[in-house]
Structure 1
Amino acid sequence: MGMFMTSLNTTVVAPAMSIIATQLNALDQQTWIATAYLVAFNAIQPISGKFSDIFGRKPILLFGTLMFFIGSLVNALATKMSVLIPGRTVQGVGGGCIMSMAFIIITDLTPPHLRPRFQSLLSVIYGLASCVGPLIGGAFVSNVNWNWDFWLNVILSAISFILIFFLLKEPVQLGNASLAAKLKRIDYLGTIFSVAFVCCILLALSWGPVYGWGSSHAIGPFVGAGVSLVSLIIVEGWVVKEPLLPGRIIFKPEITILYIYNICLGMSFIGTLYFGPVMFQSVFGADSMWSGIRLIPYMALLIVGSVGSANALYYFPYIKVYIVIGAAINVLGFGLFFTVNENSSFGQQVGYLTLCGLCFGLSMSNVILAVQGAAKREEMAIATGLTNFFMVLASGIGVAIYQVLMQVFLKHQFTLLDPSILAIAEEGGALKNYLFIRNLPDYAQEPLIHAYYQALHTVFIVPLAASGLSFICSLFIKNTKFAGAAAKRPAPQEKADQAA
């Protein structure tokens, strides 16, 4: 349940962002609805993995669930953007802890030969919630109000906290170290510099298009990100005894290439979930709910890829093969989607992106298995946490980059419009909010739709390039064999017993 609600929260507000920003009179801060959550979500992931080694899995999971509940409640009651953004930040802290702990606890509780099935289940939940999110969010916006996007998470997080508190047993033995001894193990400098780097880089990308790339609002955070990164490398490499981001894991060649692959995967994945619905609404006129419905086939193939590869590993145990196939399908999907235009059929709009869902299903759990296979037992929690961290960090940076490019390309397209059309669009509010396009006279809609299409078409070069780079990376992944295949391949009689 925890995995479902955090994944759901990543995308449930995607169809509602324009409406939320409009109702709160803060269209210029619209991107912060997503960015605030992703900044905190990214920053906390490596920290939560390390802290769980010190304080235990259950306390960190409970802390994350409590933070998620508080943030959701603040957002549900928010009437100003100045309240919503801090609430989304608190939600992000909780969500990052929960997602990191989900994969780590599954690794602790399951024997190696069962991990593919359980981790594929988490991947299915992640993909299912991410794809259902726009559908649920769109339904709430269309039929109730946007606050219910957050009330839903209040309910889910309260139930989740109760279940974890009473039913989950601590999966690791921590010994009898005192609280003071545990506090001494915390990498305070690494924590500060890693959080500072993530926050600064995302702030720079968010503020650049608003205040100008030459302004102090953009240059300052970029400088801060650079200083934080250099400081982080020095501290983690030569100062602390128990680094938060140990170089022996990150720079181990067989793990490094997997992290790079996950960065590319996160960059392309978030392009689908955030800007697929934008294209469906602005270019093809779908409402919030129907833009979510168009992602259901994507979700279906994601489940097929994840569950199918988890079971196939017992018979063909070469992890790299599944990742390479997924990466190739991702390139094909984005390549075909790049050919979509204003006159494309419903099948083309939906079907091409659906292929990308199959890639995510084949990749996510198998990348984690490959990382765990390359890491030592005592490094498993940190290595697993970093796998998710790099993918979600790329997603957060991706959202900011896509939004920047969208604004730049859209502004250019508006300069090409006839002045009379431009005046009508500006008066109708369609230059700032694509939801108002269909309120314009028919003769003004077509050129404006074309402008939005051209801008989005150019933006989608980025996920296409990211998918191409991920395919190249997949070719260099070490072709490790899943160790649990020989240990637990279900015998015919066992299959019959399981079926019964």
Structure 2
Amino acid sequence: MTGHLHPNTLNDASTGTPGVVAGELAAEEQSLIGHESSSYGATNPDDVSGADADDDKDFAMPKSQVYIVVSSLFMAAYLAALDTTVVTTLLTEIASDLNAISSISWIATAYLLSCSAFQPLFGKLSDIFGRKALLLLCSFSFAIGCFICSTDSLIMIIVGRFITGIGGGGLTSLGTITMSDIVPLRSRGLYQGLANVCFGLGAASGGVLGGFVADKFGWKNVFLLQVPLAVIVGVAIYLNLNLPEGSPGLGAQGVDIKSKLKRVDFLGSSLLVSSLMGIMAAASFGGNEIAYSSATFVILCAVSFALLGGFVYVELYVSPEPVLPLELMADRTVLSSSLTNWFYTMGVFTYLFYIPIYYTSVMGFTATQNGLRLIPNFFGVSFGSVGAGIYMKTTGRYYKLAVLSGFVSLYGVFRIYTITPSISLLDQFTMTIPPGLGYSSILTITLLSLIAAVPAKYQASTTSIQYTFRATGSTLGVSIASAIFQSILKSTLTSRIYQIVSDPNEAKEIISKALENAQYSHVAPKLVQQAIRDSYNDGCKGAFAFTAATVTIGFLCSLFMREHVLHTSINRD
């Protein structure tokens, strides 16, 4: 369990996230976006249509094509999530075959870095080049990246994982955007809930499937078997994603490729990708490969934030067509929804990471026992996602559900904070259900609130804002929690061990081993076992306190969202 003590992108919670985070957000203030239509303001509490979206005319395409495209996007979400976790059981085998144990983390990190850094770009690019073209490009990128990973070169595997991450990130964000192009708002939450389930299945099954295929056919086939699946997704989209004239998903019409390229914000895109990769790298490797106090870490952070500042300046004052419309962040719904997802994601990913550490270090559970206790989390997030979608499809409302979901999440995380070694077996298996249910419901709710707040022309680029917040929230949350955990663990462990062990050298050795291995408390000298367990208990409690604080802030942010009309037709009328 040594790896649990130094979380990085290899352990990013997106490897176990409940689902595809909704991202279609935009501005709700008419003065901000320059539109006079009242359709995008807050609703009258009594003005909610009871109509349902059941006819072909309510969708952007015939239902038969909609179902094929949506199923393909569900498969894309599954593949993107599966690829975040599929290598977890392969890393040691791959690194041993290639004699590259020291570089093992880069195999997983390369995917997650590119996925997070490039994901925000696809919204605006698809507004220019069209959804179909970008989805085909991402399917091709995913397939090519997986194929490259079947080589015997560590460098090529890392390159392949990086390319796969670009495709996986694009498939996830573009899938969310495209479903909003073809499905009316009233039904959109249900489709997103199902997408969340597919994403959750992919993340949950990656390690198991990777291990099974590797044992039976070799680790190279884990990557090769994903190639035809990505190709099938691309072919289905090519044949069936036929958006009607006037759809924003068609991109810029009537202009040549040169004119389209001129509209691309290359400077802003470069600054965004560079800054995000730097921030993610600092969050991932800080405290592990790179010491927090080192010059390398300080310089990396300084350069990353300087690039981020340059990106903000370019988007606000230089670029005629920003890759991310940052001025929309001045809008109440956009800002509150983004911050809600940011803080919720920080908290949820933290407890998903540290509950297994608590069970291992304090209660002595094995990896299998830990995994069994996290299975109910999947059912909680599935029910939350789909349930929220059904509720909104039926009632046309979401604000009260957001408040209720927030209370459920708060109950869940404060219950986690009060965990003790004497926790009952029932509580062990149900611990993650309430916060997972609340979080997944919030993800679907914020999706609908943001789509409903703006005209369709803004949904793609603003979706990218949401994905940026979520990607940074997951990694930063686990990294901040790690710093808290390590600080508390080291200080309390040092204090306790030196009080018990009189020999300084022996005490130093015990402390070093305990810091490196969560399971050491069960094989350490009996004299210090309880002290080590108590120190781990304190460290995990610090991480759980961070979870409770961030989810509380996220809940308060969600209260500023407004209720908007959930239209029953794709034309929002």
TM-score tier, shorter chain, comes to: 0.7 to 0.9
Instruction: Provide the residue aligned with 2:558 in structure 1.
Output: 474
Using the alignment, how far apart are the partners of 1:225 and 1:277 within structure 2?
32
Distance (whole Å) between structure 2 residues aligned to residue 146 and residue 349 of structure 1: 36
Q: Which residue of 2 aligns with 1:106?
A: 179
Alignment counterpart, residue 460 of structure 1, candidates 544, 550, 556: 544
Matched, 1:5 2:79: yes
Residues 484-499 of structure 1 aligned to structure 2 (within 5 Å): 484=568
Residue 186 of structure 1: which of 250, 258, 264 is its match? Answer: 264
Q: Any conservation in 2 of the 1:319–1:481 contact (CA below 8 Å)?
A: no
Root-mean-square deviation over aligned CA pairs: 3.5
Larger mean CA deviation between 272-281 and 461-470 belongs to 272-281
2:250 pairs, out of 162, 165, 173, with 173
Partner of 1:492 in structure 2?
A: none
Alpha-carbon spacing, 1:456–1:170, altered in 2? closer, same or farther (3 Å)? farther
- Matching of residue 58 in structure 1 with residue 132 in structure 2: yes
After superposition, residues 79-228 of structure 1 pair within 5 angstroms as 86-133=159-206, 144=215, 148=219, 151-152=221-222, 154-166=224-236, 167-171=239-243, 172-174=249-251, 175-209=253-287, 210-228=289-307
Unaligned runs of 5+ in 2: 1-74, 244-248
Query: 1:219-267: per-residue Cα shift (whole Å, max 9, x none)?
Result: 2122212221221121111111111011343322221111111111221
Post-superposition CA distance 1:263-294 (Å, at most 9, x none): 11221232233333333334334433442332
2:418 is paired with a residue of what secondary structure? coil
Using the TM superposition, give the Cα deviation of residue 68 of structure 1 relative to its aligned residue in structure 2, in angstroms. Answer: 3.1
Task: Establish whether residue 260 from structure 1 lines up as the match of residue 339 from structure 2.
Answer: yes
1:2·1:157 contact (CA, 8 Å) conserved in 2?
A: no
SS of 2:419's equivalent? coil
CA 1:106/1:399 → structure 2, altered by over 3 Å: closer, same or farther?
A: same
Could you tell me how far apart the structure 2 residues matched to 1:14 and 1:373 are?
38
Alpha-carbon distance in 2 for matches of 1:437, 1:342: 14
Q: Alpha carbons of 1:169 and 1:476: their partners in 2 closer, same or farther (altered >3 Å)?
A: closer
Shift of 1:333: 0.6
Structure of higher RCO (CA pairs closer than 8 Å, 6+ residues apart): 2
Distance 1:217 1:200 in 2: 12
| Partners of 1:71 and 1:88 within 8 A in 2 | yes
The structure number with the bigger radius of gyration is 2
> Is 1:229 aligned to 2:308, yes or no?
yes
Structure 1, residues 180-234: CA drift from partner, whole Å, max 9, x if none? 1111111011101111221222233344424433432112122212221221121
Q: TM-score, with normalisation over the residues of structure 1?
A: 0.84
Amino acid at match of 2:129: F
Q: Structure 1 or 2: larger helix share?
A: 1
Inter-CA distance 180–474: structure 2 relative to 1 (3 Å threshold) = same
The count of residues paired between Structure 1 and Structure 2 equals 481
- 1:359–1:78 distance in 2 versus 1, CA, 3 Å: farther
Matched-pair contact (CA < 8 Å) for 1:35–1:396? no
Aligned-pair distance for 1:445? 4.8
Cα deviation, residue 107, structure 1: 1.0
Of the three residues 30, 41, 45, the one matched with 2:119 is: 45
Measure the CA separation in 2 of the matches of 1:29 and 1:448. Answer: 30
- Output the amino acid matched with 1:434: A
Amino acid at match of 1:395: S
Contact kept in structure 1, 2:402 and 2:441, CA below 8 Å? yes
> Residue type of the partner of 1:381?
A
The separation in 1 between residues aligned to 2:261 and 2:173, in whole angstroms, is 21
Is the contact between residue 187 and residue 389 of structure 2 (CA under 8 Å) also seen in structure 1?
no
Instruction: Tell me whether 23-32 or 222-231 shows the greater mean CA deviation.
Output: 23-32
From the superposition, tell whether residues 241 and 484 of structure 1 become closer, same or farther in structure 2 (CA, over 3 Å). Answer: same
Structure 1 counterpart of 2:141, which letter?
Answer: M
1:136–1:292 Cα contact (<8 Å) kept: no
| Structure 1: distance between partners of 2:508 and 2:221 | 39
| Pair 33,435 (structure 1): closer, same or farther in 2 beyond 3 Å | farther
Report the secondary structure of 2:193's partner residue: helix
Deviations 1:335-367 (A, max 9, x none): 001111333233223322211111122111221
Against the structure 1 CA distance between its residues 177 and 64, is the aligned structure 2 distance closer, same or farther, given a 3 Å change threshold? same
> Would the aligned equivalents of 1:35 and 1:399 in 2 still touch at CA under 8 Å?
no
Q: 1:73 to 1:425 in 2, by over 3 A?
A: farther
SS in 2 for 1:460: helix
Could you tell me how far 1:386 is from its partner in structure 2?
Answer: 2.3
Return the alpha-carbon distance in structure 2 between the equivalents of residues 377 and 421 of structure 1: 63
C-alpha displacement of 1:130:
3.4
Comparing 165-174 and 114-123, the one that deviates more: 165-174
Q: Pick from 381, 396, 409 the counterpart of residue 317 of structure 1.
A: 396
1:294 aligns with 2:373: yes
